[in-house]
């Protein structure tokens, strides 16, 4: 017998799990997602979330309440009489009546090796911290922030050049397979839960605009991790003087390089062509960049249109 499921998710990251549960022939009684948001160049057109669009494609009923705190919404949720709710990057707080409504509770697909990186931005934070491994976990939800017991996990190595977009896609696909396995075990009555360790807790707070600027005084590895942790979105950036005018430029890809005599150069100084920049220790070769309003360019194409010279310094 299939489980009756309420699925709750919003962005692209959630879509593979929704598709996988549907393909596994579970009874998805409703899909909850964030309300349509203004989009388009003028922000006038309301655009449904990726999960909303896929749910309609699959013929599934969609609900998009602004909040789940009201009694009416909680009663409507409970009236679905579901076995379980599956939550993947939904984006709304689940009050206790929602957590308690499904017969087996609510299970969350979380993109970190809990208890490391509880919170909103675990993929970016893992990369920015230079972690070499992360995980996708299925956790039973409780009132605390990502504090619930873990049901299943799969470990994912983080490659030296992997960026947030790469890791996002890898974890989304792994999470879909893991959730299908977890729901099969729940249906069979064999799913076991393990409490998270009390040690090793870190929090993945939401990325703030103020931390996207590149700090050239960091080590070359630190600058590299910062850039890849924010690529492709929102993008780490620096200011460059181009044509006598300071312009904001996103750096989408870079690699740390050996210092080779650059130890005395001030951080932010261009020390080699086409665009190698000194850091607090070592240097980074900038490989893919994007000017405001422009398209991403490989460094050779970028410097052809925006000349930068050895000795130039970026603040």
Q: Which of 282, 174, 163, 283 is nearest to 232 (CA)?
A: 163
Cβ–Cβ < 8 Å for 137, 109: yes
Among 137, 102, 143, residue whose Cα is nearest residue 6: 102
CB count in 10 Å sphere of residue 199: 6
Q: Smallest Cα–Cα separation from 78: which of 14, 144, 30, 140?
A: 30
Type and span of the H or E element at 164 = helix 164-188
Ligand-binding annotation for 114, yes or no, is yes
Is 35 annotated as a binding-site member?
Answer: no
DSSP alpha helix (H) spans, 40-147: 50-57, 71-78, 96-100, 122-128
Q: Is residue 102 a known part of a binding site?
A: no
| CB-side neighbour CA atoms (13 Å) of 161 | 9
Which residue numbers belong to the known binding site?
112-115
Binding residues for (6S)-5,6,7,8-tetrahydrofolate, by number, are: 112-115
């Amino acid at each position: 017998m299939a489980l009756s499921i309420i699925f709750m998710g919003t962005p692209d990251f959630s879509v593979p799990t929704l598709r996988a549960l549907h393909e596994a022939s579970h009874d998805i009684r409703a899909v909850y997602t964030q309300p349509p948001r203004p989009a388009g160049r003028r922000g006038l057109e309301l655009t449904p979330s990726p999960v909303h669009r896929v749910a309609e494609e699959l013929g599934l009923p969609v609900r998009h309440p602004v909040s789940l705190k009201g009694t009416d919404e909680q009663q409507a949720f409970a009236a679905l009489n579901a076995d379980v709710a599956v939550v993947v990057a939904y984006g709304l707080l689940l009050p206790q009546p929602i957590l308690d409504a499904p017969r087996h509770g609510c299970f969350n697909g979380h993109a970190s090796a809990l208890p490391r990186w509880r919170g909103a931005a675990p993929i970016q934070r893992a990369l920015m911290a230079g972690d070499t491994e992360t995980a996708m976990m299925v956790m039973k939800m409780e009132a605390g922030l990502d504090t619930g017991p873990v049901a299943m996990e799969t470990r994912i190595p983080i490659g030296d050049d992997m960026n947030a977009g790469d890791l996002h896609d890898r974890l989304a696909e792994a999470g879909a397979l893991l959730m299908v396995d977890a729901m099969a075990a729940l249906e069979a009555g064999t799913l076991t839960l393990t409490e998270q360790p009390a040690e090793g807790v870190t929090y993945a707070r939401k990325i703030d605009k103020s931390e996207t600027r590149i700090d050239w005084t960091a080590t070359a590895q630190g600058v590299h991790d910062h850039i890849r942790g924010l690529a492709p979105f929102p993008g780490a950036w620096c200011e460059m003087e181009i044509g006598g005018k300071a312009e904001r430029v996103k750096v989408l890809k870079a690699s740390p390089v050996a210092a080779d005599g650059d130890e005395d150069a001030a951080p932010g100084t261009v020390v080699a062509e086409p665009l190698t920049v000194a850091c607090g220790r070592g240097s980074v070769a900038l490989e893919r960049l994007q000017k405001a309003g422009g398209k991403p360019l490989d460094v050779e194409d970028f410097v052809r249109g925006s000349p930068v010279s050895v000795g130039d310094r970026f603040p």
